[in-house]
Copies of this chain bind each other. A is one copy, B any other.
Amino acid sequence: MNTDIRKLLEGVSDGTVSIDDALLKLKTKPFEDIGYAKVDMHRKLRQGTAEVIYGAGKTPEQIIGIAETMLKNGQNTILITRLSAETASEIGKYHPLNYYKDARCGIIGPMPVPDGSGKVVVATGGTSDIPVAEEAALTAAVLGNEVVRLYDVGVAGLHRILAHLDDIMSASVIIAIAGMEGALASVIGGLADCPVIAVPTSVGYGASFNGLSALLSMLNSCASGVSVVNIDNGFGAGYLANMINHMNVRKES
């Protein structure tokens, strides 16, 4: 924004642009630059973190196109979420790409060195929640966070979660992922002393109503410090966890 508008103002100042012309230009397009401004600022703060492409519903060609533009602009690492194995294989013909089957994610470029203020713990109630958890974990990792995975620690066997009390108590942020009754978020929220991001999953059957049960359960958590993202939204949880885990970094830069 600065450059364009500065030029315009310089034109006004030196008389090469009339006030009316400047007025018209400012009136009709004052907004588009705001976005870029934000992107710029964002980028400056944390050089080297990944950009993300939401892969669902995009053709291999579209993804390759977007990725190439990013790479040309100096982006080192790119995370592609909701990516099928077939599309990943297509993309792999053009760019080296690590494909993570469970998470249905692909990553172009190197993983960054973690630089957050602590660890992001990703916990799941059962093994069926792992695909969502891996999407969250990879997202957090690719954005520069150390990730600790605690899988299959559902509340029906409390000893499983309690055996990892150290991880929970020393976490910077916790992502609690569960389908069915979604009680994991409350139990972890009660044990932990850090923000807990709850992710309901569509795992289950019958009255789980494709994640509605877990969603309502998590929204009603009686533990403080728990908030919720959309059903199966591993990426959203990983992204938010990264934001929270980089509060220091962001503030200091």
- What CA separation (Å) do A250 and B225 show in the bound complex? 14
With an 8 Å Cβ cutoff, the count of chain A residues facing the other chain is 105
Nearest Cβ in chain B — how far from A246, in angstroms?
9
Number of copies: 8
Interface SS of A by simple majority = helix
A73 close to chain B: CB less than 8 A? no
Cross-chain contact A162 with B6 (CB below 8 angstroms): no
- What CA separation (Å) do A83 and B217 show in the bound complex? 25
A189/B228 contact (C-beta < 8 A), A28-B165, A172-B251, A247-B117 known: no
Question: What is A's interface to B at a CB cutoff of 8 Å?
Answer: 1-2, 5-6, 9-10, 12-13, 15, 19, 22-23, 26-38, 41-42, 57, 117-118, 125-128, 154-163, 165-166, 169, 172, 179-183, 185-187, 189-191, 193-195, 197, 200, 202, 204-209, 211-233, 236-237, 239-240, 243-245, 247-248, 250-251
